[in-house]
Amino acid sequence: MNFALSDEQCAFIDVAGEFAREQLAPNAAAWDEQKIFPVATLRAAGELGFCGMYCPAEVGGSGLTRMDAALILEELAQGCTSTAAYLSIHNMAAWMVATWATERVRRDWAGSLAAGTKLASYCLTEANAGSDAASIATTARLDGDNYVLNGAKAFISGAGDTDVLVVMARTGEAGAGGISAFAVPSDTVGVSFGKNEPKMGWNSQATRTISFENARVPATHLLGAPGEGFAIAMRGLEGGRINIAACSLGAAQATLDMTQRYLSERKQFGQVLADFQALQFRLADMATELVAARQMVYKAAWALDSDHPEKTAYCAMAKRFATDAGFKVCNEAMQLHGGYGYLRDFPIERFFRDARVHQILEGTNEVMRVIIARRLLQPNGTENLK
């Protein structure tokens, strides 16, 4: 078993790390405080291939593996976790358009999304359909050559600032089998956006409700076949869970690095904090849990890239473990920085706030446990998940 990264992957890390240090980190505090969606910076990320990381090359994407994308997102999240997390969502939506759209829609949208000249939002969640995503109530009724959408989506990242919405809507019976997916231009008549929700973190990207009132979308904007929307959404979320886990790794790594420097510089009781064995132990535990989480993310990415039969469970495991461990490391970093960690003048509290929501989105960690447990309780479940 070889844990070494390839030369190409090391190059990806170097480029992403430089972008994070030069373009994200210096601006992250202002974006957070002023709630700025950094469109120009996102387009600059697109120029480096970071907006279509696993979109196929034939539509202008980078054609990278999910492992490659995880490495890049971890580096980007060390600069600004909120912006890296939006990029993870955009990549998921762009990949869905590139994979399942009709030829016409792929021609019109996929290349622009992969290049970052157009941006996307993923629209599954509703006010009464969060963890129970199969119960969505937004409808899409076929009327001639158009689908007519009615309903509302909630907690949509980038909504109001993006160009295309990947929308799950009900075209058939109740349950997962009645859901279809659509690529909806955000300027479609009948589409409107709510206020930017005040949030604990993720302030460099807006979170809004979206309302659909007789919004007419050409039937050619259907992604896949009618009734395939829920399956498409879940396929997207498998990769999305790895992505958001990688963003948690980045936040944790950034705060671990800050903590190591702080303990080596700060003096109390006549000696630097790093000389206190109790604090050494806490730093060691932070690093150990981070490395363990990283290995789980890598295994899940490998499972997805290799189409392993247990990829869904491995992605759920990685998301659950890495987002919990990542937030725990950020929390420990704040504690070890004392009062300074709690001040907005220092970045620890921003990483803490931005990493917290990762335990909720892309499927809550409670739902991840449900997915894992259901697989374990099937025949040969514990044998296969080794």
The string of pLDDT tens digits covering residues 78-104 is 999 999 999 999 999 999 999 999 999
Ordered by start, the domain boundaries in the chain are 7-115, 120-227, 230-384
End-to-end CA distance of the chain: give it in Å, rounded: 15
Q: What would the mean pLDDT of 257-271 be, rounded to a whole number?
A: 96
Per-residue pLDDT at 382 exceeds 90: no
pLDDT digits (tens, 9 = 90+) for 162-211: 999 999 999 999 999 999 999 999 999 999 999 999 999 999 999 999 99
Indicate the pLDDT class of residue 130, thresholds 50, 70 and 90.
confident
Per-residue pLDDT at 385 exceeds 90: no
* Close Cβ partners of 188 (under 8 Å, ≥ 6 residues apart): 215, 216, 217
Q: What is the pTM of this model?
A: 0.96
Which residues are known catalytic residues?
362
Residues above pLDDT 90, as percent of the chain: 96
Give the CB-side neighbour count of residue 184, counting CA atoms within 13 A.
34
Q: What would the mean pLDDT of 333-355 be, rounded to a whole number?
A: 96
List C-alpha distances in Å: 186 to 203, 210, 212, 249: 21, 10, 11, 32
CATH fold of 7-115, please? Butyryl-Coa Dehydrogenase, subunit A; domain 1 (1.10.540)
Average pLDDT, rounded, for the chain: 96
Q: Which pair of tokens denotes residue 120?
A: 């996307």
Q: Does domain 120-227 have CATH number 2.60.40.420?
A: no
Indicate the pLDDT class of residue 74, thresholds 50, 70 and 90.
very high
Per-residue pLDDT at 1 exceeds 80: no
* Close Cβ partners of 59 (under 8 Å, ≥ 6 residues apart): 52, 98, 106, 110, 111, 114
pLDDT digits (tens, 9 = 90+) for 232-262: 999 999 999 999 999 999 999 999 999 999 9
Report d(CA 240, CA 318) in Å as an integer: 11
Which pLDDT score, from 0 to 100, does residue 279 have?
97
Which pLDDT score, from 0 to 100, does residue 383 have?
81
Q: What would the mean pLDDT of 252-275 be, rounded to a whole number?
A: 96
Question: How many separate helices (H) and strands (E) can be counted in the chain?
Answer: 13, 10
Q: What would the mean pLDDT of 217-231 be, rounded to a whole number?
A: 97
Rounded (5°) CA angle 104-109-113: 155
Which pLDDT score, from 0 to 100, does residue 309 have?
94
**Inter-axis angle of helices 81-100 and 348-356, nearest 10:** 40
Whether the Cβ atoms of residue 42 and residue 119 lie closer than 8 Å to each other: yes
Q: What would the mean pLDDT of 270-281 be, rounded to a whole number?
A: 96
Of 318, 346, 348, 331, the C-alpha closest to 282 is 331
Per-residue pLDDT at 44 exceeds 90: yes
Which pLDDT score, from 0 to 100, does residue 2 have?
82
Residue 167, φ and ψ in degrees, nearest 5? -110, 130
Q: What would the mean pLDDT of 146-159 be, rounded to a whole number?
A: 98
Q: Which CATH class is domain 230-384?
A: mainly alpha
Using DSSP bridges, classify how beta strands 191-193 and 146-157 pair: parallel, antiparallel or unpaired: unpaired
Q: What is the CA radius of gyration of the chain?
A: 21
Name the strand (E) or helix (H) holding 140.
strand 139-143
